[in-house]
Amino acid sequence: MRKGIIITTAIASGVVITALIATPSIAAMNRGGDPQGTGPTASSSQPYAQTEHMNRMGDGMGSASEMGAGMGAGNRAGMQGDASKGVGMAAGLADVASGTMTDEQKASLTAMAAEEKVAHDLHVAFAEKYDAAVFSRIARSETMHLDAVRTLLERYSITDPTIGLEVGVFPTDASQKLYDTLLAQGSASLDAARETARTVETTDIADLTAASAGVTAPDVLAVYEHLLTASQHHLSAFGG
């Protein structure tokens, strides 16, 4: 995978100072150091895009009333499993054909499941800590994205490394350390949390672009395309 970026945040005189440092991408870390990777760009898949309609509420395009979703421990279950929207997104793949995947592409898809969980769990944690509805709203979106990736894993008989893991628990030491680091950075302040969220979305965009290269399976390309567009919307929602 290509290199992503990870953020190092220092607080000085009340100002968040950000330094971008080249590090292995989230997806590469989620493979536990697996060197497999791919290059950039995704192609279009209209049937899935039309069915999903980008889920405007979850992907940073909702109305003011839609953005007022509640936060806190009581909302955790809803953010983890927004069943109707998650099933709807996965169901959008019903009319999109499957194809063939290389071992390298399967490894990238597996890593993407862990990457979506990192994003989801961080947003859940920040939603509980801060009075900012954007985190809970986008956490619901990440639930749908993980559900779509899991649908692909099932289609291609690939083991899902995230099944059964609680919020904040990850399948590899590298992804666990990454989550813990980002959580600590974002816990410094609301501004730091937003900056951390922007880093996550920027890295997702780079990883999804890389993972899409060379993929010919229509359903996989459709999901990658949707997740890429959604991450761009999320980035904007966090001020990126």
- Return the higher-pLDDT residue of 11 and 239: 239
Residue 106 confidence (pLDDT) = 97
Rounded average pLDDT over 28-44: 40
Q: Are 212 and 40 within 8 A, CB to CB?
A: yes
pLDDT tens sequence across 139-153: 999 999 999 999 999
Residue 94 confidence (pLDDT) = 82
Tokens found for residue 171: 């399948």
Q: List 18's β-bridge partners, or say none.
A: 9
Cα–Cα distances in angstroms (integers) from residue 67 to residues 86, 171, 194, 195, in the given order: 18, 31, 16, 19
pLDDT tens sequence across 50-101: 333 334 434 444 433 333 333 333 333 333 333 333 444 566 788 899 999 9
Label residue 14 by pLDDT band (50, 70, 90).
Answer: very low
pLDDT tens sequence across 170-217: 999 989 999 999 999 999 999 999 999 999 999 999 999 999 999 999
Residue 30 confidence (pLDDT) = 52
Residue 240 confidence (pLDDT) = 78
pLDDT tens sequence across 107-137: 999 999 999 999 999 999 999 999 999 999 9
